[in-house]
Amino acid sequence: MTNEPPLKGRIALVAGATRGAGRGIAVQLGAAGATVYCTGRTTRAQRSQLNRAETIEETAELVTAAGGEGIAVAVDHMVPSQVAALAERIGADHAGRLDILVNDIWGGEKLIVFDEPFWRQSLSGGLQMFRNAIETHLITSWHVAPLLIASGRGLVFEVTDGQDAGYRGSFYYDLAKATVIRLALGQAEDLRPHGGTAVSITPGFLRSEEMLDHFGVTEATWRDAAAQDPHFLLAESPAYVGRAVAALAADPDVVRWSGQALSSWQMMHVYGFADVDGSRPDWGRYYAEVAAGRKPDAAAFR
């Protein structure tokens, strides 16, 4: 007798599924059997301001190929009316319920400034980053909360960078990503009486499409980027954080994590999954060694 995939019958929305962690999470939820609504601004007919080639249709096709059902819906999560229409569609399609929300909307890559104090950075750029990273998440959660409550076990993932242990090196970026962690904490408190759970989740050094392009490498040659940044030898694919999310979503006792700031490497130790190459990168342990002034062998942390 064949076991059913652990998330078969579960309905998920990955807001910001076009590329990177969002795409990796959507595909791994699909691999676990879920129906996944994949939203974003870049479609085959139109690109967002980031002007990248990845599309939500591609992500939805990858979800379906992995074993789930991928549904691409073009949504600008900064526009409440578009998110309201999305929530209405999901509710109509699935008897008014949504089981999993992944808030991965970002789009602030070109706004990050390092090595400059906040008063020398663009205030409008900093505020735009905050709107991209926070306002979009709030709009999305507000509109789909009734669907999560109707599920009776609604689960929210707020995708961020770091577990809030230290400064991220850029004022507005740090403020945005730290606030995402607080978004998870607050949602956890308000969802708890309704059987819901919310957590934040961070990848380590993410081997996203944009990061590969930044180093001039491909997924097949990514290790060559170590010549430019030796820490990239600890890079993890987007599937790694995706497997963390899928494992948490399949955990019948996921509520024990509610309100916490989690990481891909931490969940790897709990659930035992591996990255696409079979390794288990532990970015947190590696980074602690680097921060302490040591020069660890990256291979020992995979």
Q: Which residues carry out catalysis?
A: 173
Contact status, residue 159 vs residue 201, Cβ threshold 8 Å: yes
Residue with tokens 């490497």: 265
In this structure, how many other beta carbons lie within 10 angstroms of the beta carbon of residue 9? Answer: 11
Beta bridge partners of 13: 37, 101
Contact status, residue 28 vs residue 36, Cβ threshold 8 Å: no
How many residues are present in the chain?
302
Q: Cα(46)–Cα(54) distance, rounded to whole angstroms?
A: 11
Q: Is the dihedral of CA 53, 56, 57, 60 positive or negative?
A: positive
293 secondary structure, DSSP code: T
Quote helix, strand, coil % in the chain, to nearest 5: 50, 10, 35
What's the order of all strands across the beta sheet hosting 261-263? 69-74, 35-40, 11-15, 100-103, 155-159, 197-202, 261-263
Q: Cα(25)–Cα(247) distance, rounded to whole angstroms?
A: 11
Count CA atoms within 13 Å of residue 58 on its CB side. 15
Q: How many helices (H) and strands (E) would you count in the chain?
A: 10, 7
Q: Cα(110)–Cα(142) distance, rounded to whole angstroms?
A: 27
